[in-house]
Structures are given as structure tokens and as C-alpha cells.
Amino acid sequence: MRQAGRSLPEYRAIRAEHGFHEMITNPALAAEVTLQPVRRHRVDAAVLFSDLITPVQAIVDGVTVETGRGPVIERPFRSASDLARLRALEPDDDVPYVAEAVRLVCAELDPIGVPVVGFAGAPFTVATYLIEGGKSKEFAATKTMMHGDPEVFAALLDQLADIAIASLRAQVRAGASAVQLFDSWAGVLSLADYRRVVLPATARVFAGLADLGVPRIHFGVGTGELLGAMAEAGAEVVGVDWRVDLRTARARVGPEVGLQGNLDPALLSAPWPVIEREARRVLAQGRAAGPGFVFNLGHGVLPETDPSVLTRLVKLVHEG
Amino acid sequence: MRQAGRSLPEYRAIRAEHGFHEMITNPALAAEVTLQPVRRHRVDAAVLFSDLITPVQAIVDGVTVETGRGPVIERPFRSASDLARLRALEPDDDVPYVAEAVRLVCAELDPIGVPVVGFAGAPFTVATYLIEGGKSKEFAATKTMMHGDPEVFAALLDQLADIAIASLRAQVRAGASAVQLFDSWAGVLSLADYRRVVLPATARVFAGLADLGVPRIHFGVGTGELLGAMAEAGAEVVGVDWRVDLRTARARVGPEVGLQGNLDPALLSAPWPVIEREARRVLAQGRAAGPGFVFNLGHGVLPETDPSVLTRLVKLVHEG
């Protein structure tokens, strides 16, 4: 369950004392908040606490993450000359704290057999931050570059693909036994645009991890229309949000790829019988849609979620 | 093209002098900004300038629209007792300015044969504002009520359906020759939830307008997964955003319903050859997907759009 931490008092206690960037770059803090949901909820895996733009923040000047605003890029990427502001990621030098956090998490979780999932932003989603200068609703600058300057856009995505590969490979070397690539904003694209521009760069990431032999998870939200193309990108598992039921998702991704999802996180504020009914429906659909199903939320945990509900949900899923 | 006004200097000049609520409730101002895109771009129809919550704002105390924040409901609707805060809409008494604005627009457009499209918020979308207290990203309170208190939720949607019917009937009496029902947030729902809860209330609206004999347009965005169900709600035309191509949309809605869409408004910042290529693709797909196609954007015009691009786009579509 992504972002499970932010609903926890123990996460908030740490967050109150430390800036977001500090938590990402201090391995002890990043490891601690990665571990909190495992300790409390007994989930079956830990997703590394990190940020979509952590690697580019280490490479590009003037990139910050502001509270309540998200990533801010002082000089947005708009033309070919901006490509020179990126370079290959050297994980040991640029983001040593990421692998170190993975090592600390593994030290606690390996003995109890809980796998650690590496974390990286997908090329398109990271590109939107660089191009828009931060979060966006409409992605007009991104789409303008994608259509108006397709070579530059493709080159940018390839650079970001290589950065994601380097980051995830370092995390696996440090002990992560699976990886998850987050394409949080891909759902703003048409299928045709996704296939032409984004799929090649995303496939490049998964191909660049293939020799590691670890399960690769491809996350998206609002990506129902793209599921078939996402399944072609090469991951073992594709995420599905609550908008698409798992039977429909299976039909779109074909028989080879596992599915992850798809309980609506907004439902976790509803009375327990509603959550139980919906969780059981997801479980039944997930089993029927086999092979390969990872029960999860369709998106991140909402901050206002009652942690005891999450614990109860995990128990329900374990008891099946 | 919805919200075409806000990209226009002549709109901004009026907006600079008048509050949003004033523009909605002053028929001369509402008519003027409704007419501006027709005068400038020569579009084939005018959509009445109004707001999704205009009718409930006239009925419920403590409802305002704040600049940059959208609708704000002081005491959000959360339980059965809140239903008593709504009542039947009496358009002549509650929102006389809406019909008057339609009359003023018709006085200018009838002689040149340009139809006026009435405007109303769909029950679900209006309900989200009342329940969340304003705009939302996650719609947790809405989904909690929908699942946790389904009778109250259904009753609220039925009340809002009757309000939409009353408002649109008054607009048609005043001269509107088509109506459009905006379900801007329906795309946050799963198909199953949409079918069970939202479709009945939406169908109630369209059924309540059937005897008028005017074309009924059913707008949504991010509603690709819902298109089949939306087509059952009873409108003559269903809106499609850019995420779904019109061939796919046709397959989902069946052969009986017209399609409206689906150029991505974010593309209007791209170089003209890109816009032209994409517009021609939409036109060709729309024709091939016939019968019944209304060229439009897949969502509202972005405020930063260059008005001359819109004019050029309209010309291209007319020359076809």
C-alpha cells in the first residue's frame, strides 16, 4: 500500500521534526518510515519511501519539493538545450542515501521474510514535472513538447529511462527483491500518444532491469484505457485502479501479466461492512482473473485514513 | 467549446469588473459572455454561461463560489437531515436570471440561426460539491456516503435530478434549443458504482426532458470506462474526452447515440501543424464513427489558450 505511512501517527511524528527532503536523503529516517507500515499493519512487502524526482533532484540544479506544493523546478525544461542539464545517474555518488535506506530496511525485513520493493518514477511522469515546473492539472506544456518537439521529448524520456534504470539497479544491488515503476500521470494521455511516445521509454526501463530477475511492477492510476499497452512494456505486474474491474483489466492485459489493485482508497473512510464487502469483491475478482494477483489499493492511502482500518484490511486479505 | 470565454480578453475585461456570482446572476453580463465566443470564433452553438451549482446556490444557505477555489458549501451535506435543506427549484422565483440570460442570448442568435444550449450540472457532480463542501480530489466523503448511506445518497441525487430538470426546462422555455448536462466528476467512479447509483438519477433527468423534443447532450471527462452506461442514460449525444478515440467510443456507446468531442484542449498550445493534424484526425474519426458527431474539445478551453488559435480551429472544422 503506497503512501501508507502518511496516515500513521508515528510517521507524522517524524515528519513534524524533519523536512521532506531530509527524510528522503537521511537513510535512517527513510528506512524508518518505510518500515512503519510493515510493523503496524503486517503488510507483505515494503515499498521504499522515496520521491518521484529524487534522482533528478540530485542531478539538476534548482529542484526542490515544497510542502503542499510538491516538486518545484525553478527553470522548467522546454527545449533541446535543457537536455544538457541531465546526465547519467551515478547512484553511489548522486543518491547514496537511496541504496543505504534499502540496506537498512532489508536488515530488518530479510530475517522475517518480507521483501523490499524498489521505487522509481517512470520517464513520462518525471518528465511532466521537469517540463511543467511542478505539478500540473492540464499538462499543456508537456503535451505541447510531446507533439511540437517530438525528438526532444523522446530524448528526454530516454534520459529519464536510463536514470530510472540506474536508480532501480542500485536498489536491487542493495537488497530490494522487486521494483515498482510509478507512472502516476500517464492517464492524461490518449492510447495513441502513449503507444507512440511513452511506451518505448517505459519498455526501455523494464528491459534495462530484465537481467536482474526480480519482479517488476508497473504502476498507473486512471490508466484503464492504457492497460493493454502498459502490459506490453515488459513488467511482470501491472497496476489497476478502481475504475476498471479486474475482469476487464485481465481482458485488456492478456493472460501473461499479473494484476495489482484495485480497492478504492477513498472507500477506507466508509463503514467497515462496506470496506469488507468491497475488499472481498476485489479478492474474488483478483482470484478469478488469475494468474498472478497482488491485492492492493488502486492508489495511495489517503492521509485521513484510520490506521486501524488498514490493519483490519490487511488481516482480512491474509485470511482471504 | 465549453469555457471558451475565459481565454478571451473581452471576457477578462468583464470579469475584472464583476464578481463571478454577479456575472451568473446578472442576465446582461451572463448573456454577453455567452455571446463572446460566437461573435469571435463563429462557433455553431452557444453554451449558456452558468455554474454547476447555480440552482442549489439559490436554494441552500451558505453556498458561495470563491475565486480560485470554486464552490464552497459552508455546512457540507453528510446525513439524511441535510436532505431537508433542498427543495424543488422554482426557476421563475429562484433563478429568474438564468432564463432571462437565455432570452437575451436567443434574441441575438436566433436571427442568425445559431442555437443556444442550456446548461446544468448532473446530479452526481452537484452532489459531490454539497457532500465534500467544495472541490475534491479524492471524493472520500462522497464515496463514503454512496456506500455507507446509499438510501440518503440516492435520495439526494433524485432531488438534484429534479432540480436539473426544472432548470433545463426553464431554459428551453426561454428559447434554448438543446441542453447539456455536465457530469464533470463521474469519472472518479467505477462502472459498477456508476450503474447502480448514478445512472438512475441521470436517466431521470433525461427522461424528465424527453417531451421537450430538444437534443440532449451528456458531458463527462475521464469517463471512458462509463461510456456504455452513459449512453443508456437517454441523451442523444454523449461527450468523449481525448483519452478514448472515437472509434472505441462508438463501440462502447452502440450505434444509436451521437458523439461529441474529442480534441485535447491542452494541445491548443502546440504549433498549428500539430493542432491541424490532430483536428483532422478527430474529424475523420468522427465521420467514420457516425451517425451523429459534434466536433468539440474533450474538455473546457484552458485560460491560457490563444484565442486566434480557436478561431482558426473553428474555421478548419467548418471547411472540414
Query: Mind listing the pLDDT tens digit for each residue in B173-201?
Result: 999 999 999 999 999 999 999 999 999 99
> Annotated active-site positions of B, please?
2, 6, 15, 51, 129
- Partners of residue A182 on adjacent β-strands: A121, A219
Give the distance from residue A248's alpha carbon to the nearest chain B alpha carbon, in angstroms: 10
Please report the pLDDT score of residue B243 as a whole number.
Answer: 95
Q: Which residues of B touch A223 (CB under 8 A)?
A: none
Chain A residues within 8 A of B242 when measuring between CB atoms: 190
What's the pLDDT band for B105 if we cut at 50, 70, 90?
very high
Q: Is A88 on the interface with B (CB under 8 A)?
A: no
β-pairing, A63-66 vs A70-73, is antiparallel
Query: Using the beta-carbon criterion (under 8 Å), do B225 and A242 form an inter-chain contact?
Result: no
For the segment B154-179, the average pLDDT, to the nearest whole number, is 98
Nearest CA of chain A to the CA of B91: how many Å?
Answer: 35
Residues of chain A neighbouring B264 (CB-CB closer than 8 A):
143, 190
Shortest distance between the Cα of B173 and any Cα of chain A, in A, equals: 36
Whole-number Å distance between alpha carbons of B43 and B295:
10
pLDDT tens digits along A58-103: 999 999 998 888 999 999 999 999 999 999 999 999 999 999 999 9
pLDDT band with cut points at 50, 70 and 90 for residue A10: very high
All domains in chain B, ordered by first residue: 4-319 (3.20.20.210)
CB-CB neighbors (< 8 A) of A224 in chain B? 224-225
pLDDT tens digits, residue range B253-297? 999 999 999 999 999 999 999 999 999 999 999 999 988 999 999
Span B228-251, average pLDDT: 97
Share of chain B above pLDDT 90, in %: 96
CA angle B147, A182, A233 (to 5 degrees): 110
- Is pLDDT of B68 > 90? no
| Nearest neighbour of B266 by CB, restricted to A140, A222, A302 | A140
Q: Is the pLDDT of residue B67 over 90?
A: no
Terminal Cα-to-Cα distance of chain B (whole angstroms): 17
pLDDT above 80 (res A1): no
**What pLDDT does residue A315 have?**
97
Residue pairs spanning A and B at CB distance below 8 A: 91
* B139/A274 Cβ within 8 A: no
Neighbouring residues of A107: CB distance < 8 A, sequence distance ≥ 6: none
3-state secondary structure at position B238 = strand
Reply yes or no on whether the pLDDT at B123 is more than 90: yes
Which of A1-5, A231-235, B62-66, B224-228 is predicted least confidently?
A1-5
Taking the Cβ of residue B272 and every Cβ of chain A, the question of whether any pair is shorter than 8 Å is answered with no
Residue A31's nearest CA partner among A45, A13, A43, A49 is A49
> pLDDT tens for residues A127-149?
999 999 999 999 999 999 999 99
Which residue of chain B has the CA closest to A138? B266
Report the pLDDT value the prediction gives residue A136, as an integer from 0 to 100.
Answer: 94
Long-range (24+ apart) CB contacts under 8 A made by A43-47 are: A43/A1, A43/A4, A43/A114, A43/A314, A44/A114, A44/A115, A45/A114, A45/A115, A45/A116, A45/A117, A45/A178, A46/A105, A46/A109, A46/A114, A46/A115, A46/A116, A46/A117, A47/A2, A47/A117, A47/A119, A47/A180
Q: Does B228 touch chain A (CB under 8 A)?
A: no
Please return the burial class of B137, using the count of CB atoms within 10 Å of its CB with bins 0-12, 13-18 and 19+: exposed
- ipTM, 2 dp: 0.91
Q: How far apart are alpha carbons A38 and A33 in whole angstroms?
A: 10
- Which chain B residues touch A140 with a CB distance below 8 Å? 266, 268-269, 302, 304
Residues 293-312 of B with CB under 8 A from A: 302, 304
B219 — pLDDT class (breaks 50, 70, 90): very high
pLDDT in tens, A162-211: 999 999 999 999 999 999 999 999 999 999 999 999 999 999 999 999 99
